[in-house]
Amino acid sequence: MSITNLKANIIRFKRKFHVNQLIRGSLVSLILFGAIWLIFSLLEGYFWFGQPARLVIFSILLILLLYFVVFRILIPISKIIQINRGLTDHQSAILIGQHFPEIQDKLLNLLQLSESNTQQSSLLLAAIEQKQSELKIFDFNEAVDFRVNKKYLFYATALIAIVLCVSFISPGLFSSSSARIVQFNKPFEKPAPFTFNLQSDLIAFKGDSYELKVDLDGESLPNEVFLLDNNQKFRLNKSNDGQFIFKYPSISNDKTIRFSAAGFDSKLYTINVINRPELRDLSVKIDYPEYTGLKDESRSNTGSFIVAEGTKITWDISSSDAEKGFFIVDSDTSNMLANGDHFEFSRVIKNSLQYEIALSNQYAKNKSQIVYDVSVIKDLSPIIDATYLPDTVSYKSILFTGTIEDDYGFTSLKLFYKRNENNSYKVIKLPVDKSQQNQEFYFQWDLDSLNLTSQDYLEVFAQVSDNDQINGFKSTQTQKFILRMPSDKEIESMISDKSDESQSKLDDAESKAEEINERLKDLEDRLRNKKELDWQDKKLIEDIIKDKEKLSKEIEELADKHQELMDSQKEFNKQSEKLQKKAEQLQNLIEEVLDEETKKLYDELQKLLKEQDNTDKVLEELSKIKNSEKNMEKELERALELFKRLKLETGIEQTAQKLEKLAEKQDDLADETKAESILDEIDPKTESAENKESNQSYEDQQSTQSDIEKQQEEINQEFQEIQEQLDSLEQLNQELKNPEPMEDFQQEEKDIEQKLDEIPQDLQNQQKKKAGQKMKNAGQKMKNMASNMQEMQMGMEMTMMQENLDHLRDILDNLIKLSFEQENIIDDIKDVQQIDPRFIELSQEQLQLISNAEVIEDSLLSLASRVAQISSFVTREVGQINEHLDNAMNELRERNKGKAASHQQFAMTSMNNLALLLDDVMQQMQMAMSEAMGNPQKGQGQKKSLPNMQQMQEQLSDQIQQLKSSGKSGRELSEELAKLAAEQAELRRQMESMQQQLAGQKAGKEGGNGEEGGNGSDAGDKLGEAIKQMEQNEIDLVNKRLTQQLIDRQQEILTRMLEAEESMREQKESPEREGETASPKNRKLPPAIEEYLKAKKEEIELLKTIPLDLNPFYKKEVNDYFRRLSGEEQ
């Protein structure tokens, strides 16, 4: 065998070897991949993995498949077709030698000898020839045995048999699970043990009801079936025959639904909604003629309208399932241009008409007849009527209001203004409804941004322009309005005039109240001995009622005037916060003078005059009115005294401030004068040429001499005014019932006045340096005087507060003693007969008690005229005490012991109530004094929590229960009850403080969301109920009424406290709400402007009821009607 034949034999070996590798690799790949696929398919078929798990399985199978195909199949094939290098000859020789023991390494040696590059000798050739002869008997292909692959074929056959068996048992197992693994990104639902059978057609008509019917088939059927529709879940009703039904009341759109039961969902169903041939949308384009100046419009879903003559109207109709559209006028029918579901038709309208729109398709026409009207009108030019209302309280705003009118609307409404000498106007565009022909407008202009100063003026006018393009936008202007800002002196004079006016009105009201009281007293004396009223008596009563109504209106005007005074003082910073607070308390007092109870008494008196002439009932009513009017007179007298005292304090404060400013002005002038004196030391005659510029400067400074003298003269004049104000304040102080201990500043005034008188003479004598020093000295003295005045005012305040507090303590002590004395008289008089001499002694004691009560009343009224914290209710309670004491004394004179005891008991109740009220006032005064001293009271702010207060209330209830069952009486019982009443009052005050905090929190949270703060409001309401019951308990305790109602009320208080605590707890647990955005605080308008705005707002709200889609003609007519109606009402 030649070497060539030998190599050919090796090549055949290699090809068969690689074929064997391909067969073995294919079988192994089939076995391994099939086994893994079988396992994963079985797992997926059983567990129904989710998308992530199926993605992992799919990835593993794909990787394995690629590996087997590439490495076990493609690579062996490439070696067979010799694309890829396979076994080498040497590797083949080794494999052949391993298979044939006889060959061993002979074939390898032969190949190595034949490949030797050395020159072959005869011996070597002989060796090669020998080996070839030895190898030619072997067939190398036999070294590759295909039979070794039988075991792989067996495994593959077994795997195929397993797959066939499983497929026979569960036909869809491998196919469905394999499909789910391949479609890993698609969700699959586990099949239910039952099936949903939809019995209804999936077709419905728009707007009609639609009924779904579903049957279930299977071995295990659920009892409930649900409908899933657009994230909504509805339960189907089960009929008697086992069918599930759901009914849509009205269906309008296609729906994609599915059914759900026992955790299994059906496939998706789509209900197709078919539209009837009907009108869906009507759009009208109105192209007005150019001469009207009207802007072209587009309207939707309105077919009736009024237009100008010659208007071109284009109807654009959107329909549902309509194939044809018709425009019908009378008997004239025109086809509309169709474009799918849209139909269009245009016509120029010259006359009014009624038209019909008809739609149809191959099935039917539109269900309802569509008929509209078009009315035609013709043309008229802009009108403006404006009113300017400046805020004369603060001069910080102007209100512009009025009406504008035009045929076809407006383009703009502008406000033109200029300041002082500036000739160019600036413009503010005001909002205007361009489509409304007749409209009201008002605009509040805040002048803060203009920074207007004293004596500036503002010139203003308004201009309205219509939208008439042909005539060039016609405009109309209002008359010019000029607002001049007041100077500081004018402001001071204005505030002074308002103060004097308020004082005058207050004084006048007090005089008229006193006059009414005198007339009531005379009338009571006149009627006392009459049985019936005559005409003159009724006339006198009616006159009093009329005068009372006039007085009530004057008091209301007084409250408004005083409010204006407060606003002006606050706006121009003429009062400190402390005095503002006092002014507010005085305002509250004035507003509380007119109480509803007195008004009811007068109403009852009028009713008596109309119904009967019985003198006794009229006298009884007059007596009540007289007591009420007496209280009002006292309140007015007290308000007048408080007003004067507040006026004094304000005057001292303002005078000190003016003196400080004057001192600063004097210091500035002193510095300027000293600078001038330095230049005076330069002698122009001796200066060289180098100092000519300085000499010129000197000459310029000389020209300021007259300015300095003029400024100093103004300072002297202002100081004289301050002196006059001090004299007025001293005079006002003397008018007070209890004048304040004001210091005498005459010596300081004299020293300052002396310096100020010397300064002009020094300036005239060119002694500027000396004048400047005196200016500094005068300025310093002014500062010292202002500081002394401020210290005096603070000392006066602290002294008055301490005196008032001491007086209140004495009054409270005397009142408590008076209550105990009244109680002793009540107890003593029970056991005394009317004929007993002891009865006369007790009557005398009662008379002495009335005298003591009068002393307390005088002290309390005197204190009330200095302390604004004392409410009008306190003085009314004093009136009640006097009334009951007088009635009790009258009954004792008549020896009527029962009625006397009743009035005595009422008097003692009023005393106890008054003591509680005065105790509250005393605590307020102590707090105010503490704050004024900058040293809050010890324990201030240490508020108890609601649970602690509940515990204290429970303890108080137990003490009341124990006291009721203890059997105590007399003074010992009274002391115990007074102690319990004080504890109850303290608890009530703490509850009131907590209620105020809750009210403040609620006000801070409300705003955007109306529901916010709801729990806080509930808690506050519960606390309010508990507080009212506590007040009733205090009254019962001080009046020694230990009843079962008192015990039950204590339990109700605890219940309300528990409910309030629960509401507060729910509020804390609720989700945290978003913070509020601070909103700007509107400036308060004067009452006159507020009334005007209120009337205009009501009129505008009425006009807003006009439908927005009315055309210009109808809008004009309706607006004119409302305007005429408003004018008639006014």
Query: Pairing state of beta strands 457-466 and 481-484?
Result: antiparallel
> Among the three residues 145, 180, 215, which one is the final residue of a domain in this structure?
180
The helix (run of H) or strand (run of E) holding residue 226 is strand 226-229
CATH number for the domain spanning 236: value is: 2.60.40.10
Query: Is 245 found in the same domain as 350?
Result: no
Q: Is residue 858 part of a domain?
A: no
Which among 285, 63, 56 has a CA at the least distance from the CA of 184?
Answer: 56
Predicted pLDDT of residue 286: 92
Summarize pLDDT for 616-672 with one digit per residue, the tens.
Answer: 788 888 888 888 888 888 888 888 888 888 888 888 888 888 888 888 988 888 888
Residue 1078 sits at φ, ψ, to 5 deg, of: -60, 130
Is 819 within a domain?
A: no
End-to-end CA distance of the chain: give it in Å, rounded: 141
159 and 68 co-located in one domain: yes
pLDDT at 108: 61
| pLDDT of res. 932 | 62
At residue 198's C-alpha, the angle toward residues 192 and 203, to 5°, is: 140
Average pLDDT on 402-416 reads 87
Same domain, 622 and 667: no
Q: How confident is the model at residue 945 (pLDDT cuts 50, 70, 90)?
A: low
Residue 594 and residue 521 share a domain: yes
Residue 938 lies in a domain: no
Residue 532 confidence class, pLDDT cut points 50, 70, 90: confident
For 965-1021, how does the pLDDT look when each residue is reduced to its tens digit (9 = 90+)?
A: 777 776 677 777 777 887 888 788 788 878 777 776 655 554 444 444 445 567 778
What is residue 118's predicted lDDT score, i.e. its pLDDT? 47
Angstrom distance (rounded) from CA 435 to CA 437: 6
User: What does the DSSP assignment read for 1023-1089?
Assistant: HHHHHHHHHHHHHHHHTT---HHHHHHHHHHHHHHHHHHHHHHHHHHSPPPPPPPP-PPPPPPPHHH
Place 1106 in a pLDDT band, splitting at 50, 70 and 90: very low
In the chain, the number of structural domains is: 7
Do 944 and 997 touch, CB atoms closer than 8 A? no
Scored b (16 or more CB within 10 A) or e, 322-332 reads bebbbbeeeee
Given this model, what pLDDT does residue 1076 score? 37
Which of 722, 754, 784 is where one domain is finished? Answer: 784
317 and 424 belong to one structural domain: no
- 804 within some domain: no
Instruction: Express each pLDDT in 1109-1125 by its tens digit.
Output: 445 555 555 556 555 55
| Alpha carbon distance 103, 138 (integer Å) | 9
pLDDT tens, residue by residue, 674-718? 877 776 665 444 444 444 455 545 555 555 777 888 888 888 888
Is there a single domain that holds both residue 467 and residue 513?
A: no
Are 285 and 323 contained in the same domain? Answer: yes
Rounded distance between C-alpha atoms, residue 344 and residue 325, angstroms? 9
Residue 866 maps to a domain: no
Query: Same domain for 1057 and 1125?
Result: no
Does residue 497 share a domain with residue 480?
A: no
For residue 922, tell me if it sits in a domain. no
Find where tokens 């009571």 sit.
524
Domain containing 718 equals 655-683+701-784
227 shares a domain with 253: yes
Q: What is the pLDDT of residues 344-385, one digit of tens each?
A: 999 988 889 999 999 887 766 787 888 999 998 876 778 999
The domain boundary, picked from 761, 784, 807, lies at 784
